[in-house]
Amino acid sequence: KKPFIAGNWKMFKTIPEALELVRELNEASSELTEAEIVVIPPFTALNDVKNTLHSSSIQIGAQNFFWEEKGAYTGEISAPMLKDAGCAYVVIGHSERRQYFGETNETVNKKIKASLAHELVPIMCIGESFEEREKGKTINKIETQITEGLEGLEKKEISQIIIAYEPIWAIGTGLTATPNQAEDVHRFIRNKLAENYGNETGSCAIILYGGSVKPANSYSLLLEEDINGALVGGASLNSEFFIEIIKEAIKAYKEK
């Protein structure tokens, strides 16, 4: 297995800025072959980024979509449109979408089913708030998000889903879960998947950590047994930082 490193660009980068960033990543990609790398630009840049990366092993994801295939849903984008633009992955249920745009475990579930139906790999985001952690409710929150988000899915479908644990209190705040804190939750997620869908599903699951991942902490996080990669936010907007994170992840994986 290789570490899986995804860069979520959020609402940043015009098309020229996006192309400059992926060209810089492309130039370094020969040194980064021991990691699975995904960039997740805004919708407007997807197709141009795909064309720039056409001969690269770096893959592309989208930040969101709507679960219907087509229809009168002004402002929305469907899974077939994402496939058409070159996406292989899609982020579902990011805490910012839950916070600002009314995403719920139920809509996450609909989107996961729709993404799998169109052969897009879902990256399902889960995580607790600072208040929930302080009150000792982290595991309850994670368990509910997993149970409701994955409801009605078969074992073979679960094996195609990537889960990203992103403690909300660590996203964009500069605070990061310690490797031990992150590992505790990752281990719980893996054990829960094993309990619900069988040991093989649990042991093979790709579980990413997200929340202020940067070059200085990626090595120690990725050394943990149940952390298979990272969903990187702000640091992925800088090619130098993102490349450094990938190199640190590769180094950590070799030492596991």
- How far is 13 from 246, CA to CA, in rounded Å? 21
Residue 119 neighbours by CB distance under 10 Å:
10
The single-letter DSSP state of residue 149 is: H
Residue 234 backbone dihedrals phi, psi, to 5 degrees: -50, -40
β-pairing verdict for 4-8 and 89-92: unpaired
Positions annotated as catalytic residues are 94, 166
What CA dihedral angle connects 159, 160, 165 and 166, to 10 degrees? -170
The beta-carbon contacts of 30-33 under 8 Å, at least 24 apart in sequence, are: 31/243, 31/247, 32/243, 32/246, 32/247, 32/250, 33/57
CA separation for the pair 200, 184 (Å, rounded): 20
Chain CA centroid to CA 49, Å? 18
Q: Report the SS3 class of residue 208.
A: strand
The 3-state DSSP class for residue 145 equals: helix
Of residues 123, 118, 3, 126, the one with CA closest to residue 62 = 123
